[in-house]
Amino acid sequence: MRALGRFLLGVLAVVGVLTLGLVGLVWWGLSSLDVAEVLHDVERPERFVLTLDLRRPFPEGEPAVPFALLEGGADPSLAGTVRAIDAAAADPQVTALLAEVGGTGAGLAQAQDIRAAVQRFRAAGKPAWVFAETLNEGDDMVDTYLAAAFDQVILQPSGGIGPLGFAAEVPFARGLLDEIGVQPQFDAREDHKNALDSLTRREMSAAQRESLDALLGGFWQQVRADIATDRGIAPEDVQKAALASPLLPPEALEARLVDRLAYRDEAEAALFEQAGTRDTLALEDYAADLFGDGPSGDRPHIALIHATGEVLRGEAEESLLGGEQAIYSDTVARALQEAVDDESTRAVVLRIDSPGGSYVASDILWRKIRQVRDSGLPVVVSLGNVAASGGYFIAMAGDHIVAAPGTITGSIGVISGKIVLQEMWNKLDVQWDAVTTGGPALMYSANQPFTWEQWQKFQRQLDWIYADFVDKVAQSRGLTRQQVEAVAGGRIWTGTAALERGLVDELGGFDAAVAEAKRRAGIATDTAVSLVSFPKPRSRFDQLMETLGGTPLAGTDARTLAALARVVRLLDPLADHLEAADTGAVRTPLPAYTGDGR
């Protein structure tokens, strides 16, 4: 039977080698073809209309892994979209811009960035038209807001404009949790830090209602004023149209929110005639042609680092097919250090879009940004849709913060706690028992509530974190503690309100952040720069090996052989037992297998 064990090992090794070889072959093939080049290998016309699809999300940052490009093509990032529109404005080959909107995935702050780029395109003397089958079928009015920035808005005759306005609905599940025996034990600093009120309350608190009312009211004021300016009507007319919405196509035309009712082919024909060409090029192909060869060596380099998603400790784990974005403290800190170590870097633009997360991870990045500044490299922070809680904690470390008017900003506070399942277990007649040593090892166990003493210790932790947050805001922003406390407590602000309260330095988009970085680096305003992404992309083979790092056959040859050796050690006793069973001999028990066998 020992021969059986050897046979099984041989089969495992052969399968492993074939698997690694097959994956390597596929990867080599894709590397040779260059996936991005294949997907964007489009001939550029002599003169053309640039087309822009606004019916999609606008990711913050480019895809980190090449296989993500195979999922129907990766959407151009917000920064890439803005840069491409700006380049097209100065490109004599681009004669016009034709966009389509409807169900956009852009947030309000992103929409403001895109709108500003479209307006700069128009200021270059080129027509910018937008077509929509229908507007505002989603949850808010960002469709109409985006469309208003174009000089011609064409709506399909069977379309319309949905409700104009903003709303926030919040579910409260405390009654359900009580019914099933789940007890939420959370606390916050302070009353406006209400991210978990849905679990702890049965209805909206006065503080939460105040925050949401101020936030949505600020959004509406910005959008109403901008649409009125764009469309050449009074803000009162926008308000009137909002109260009358949803609007039928003739009503949208009468309200001057659209310029004509026509089908897509009719809109295209009219613009092509004005532009003097029927040739088109999609923005993603145009951007790939512009930026696909990497930065130009003779241009000043500005590092571009994206910090998107929840703030977490540790290093990001990559997948060949991509995944949810998050801000991993070790990964972003490494990117910042790489930018410092690169002698060609003149400044850093840190793009943040985050609702927060780990306090410890946020503090790691706060410290790292301060170290980058101490090295003499300016750090300009560009805020996306959200820079709240831990997202703002990171942002405040920069030299200069640029926020969009619609950026959700602040939420200076802390919230923590646990869910207690003790009553639910009792209802299910499930009993838990435990053994502990040392201190309160079960303090955060979901199977028992906080004791009085544990609750007091928990409160001390919240007080400590909140005090540190407030003190660092005061230190970073040059404010007194009293000034910070007046805007903290978990309160959220629009970018406009944050500017008024000293939480940010400037209102603007991605282009404004780059301009400020150039200024601080001593680069002339009219000098073109190269935006260099950090961390720098690794080879495709390295990405493959890291992605497969959790499998026995991953990594270098040495790691592969070591993994196979561990399998040999495991199969040897099994083969011995099989042989013993066959001969009737007595054997010792199988060894315990823990972890990876090391």
Q: Which residues are catalytic, by number?
A: 193, 389
Within a 10 A sphere around the Cβ of 597, how many other Cβ atoms? 12
d(CA 109, CA 118): 14
d(CA 108, CA 145): 9
* Sequence-distant (≥ 6) Cβ neighbours of residue 111 within 8 angstroms: 104, 142, 145, 146, 406
| Residue whose pair of structure tokens reads 């922003």 in the numeric block | 477
Residues in the chain: 598
Residue among 358, 357, 339 at smallest CA distance from 348: 339
Is the distance from CB of 117 to CB of 97 less than 8 angstroms?
A: no
The H or E element containing residue 542 is: helix 540-547
Structure tokens that stand for 291 in this block: 């930026």
Burial class of residue 447 (count of CB atoms within 10 Å of its CB; 0-12, 13-18, 19+): middle
Structure tokens that stand for 257 in this block: 């929110």
Enumerate the β-bridge partners of residue 379. Answer: 348
Q: What is the four-CA torsion angle of 355, 359, 362, 367, rounded to 10 degrees? A: 150
What DSSP string runs through 482-493? Answer: HHHHHH-TT-EE
Long-range contacts of 88-91 (CB under 8 A, 24+ apart): 88/50, 88/121, 88/286, 89/120, 89/121, 89/123, 89/124, 89/126, 90/124
Alpha helices in 191-346 (DSSP H): 197-200, 206-231, 235-244, 249-254, 264-275, 283-291, 329-341
Structure tokens that stand for 213 in this block: 């009312």
φ, ψ of residue 85 to 5 degrees: the values are: -65, -45
- Angstrom CA distances, 162 to 62, 137, 151, 191, 276, stand at 32, 6, 21, 35, 34
Q: For residue 356, which amino acid is it? A: G
- Angstrom CA distances, 35 to 28, 30, 288, 541, stand at 11, 6, 12, 14
Strands (E), 436-576: 492-493, 506-507, 530-533
Is the distance from CB of 419 to CB of 440 less than 8 angstroms?
A: no
Structure tokens that stand for 260 in this block: 């004509």
- Dihedral (CA of 31, 37, 41, 45) sign: negative
DSSP 311: E
d(CA 503, CA 388): 11
Residue among 210, 231, 232 at smallest CA distance from 497: 210
Within a 10 A sphere around the Cβ of 363, how many other Cβ atoms? 20
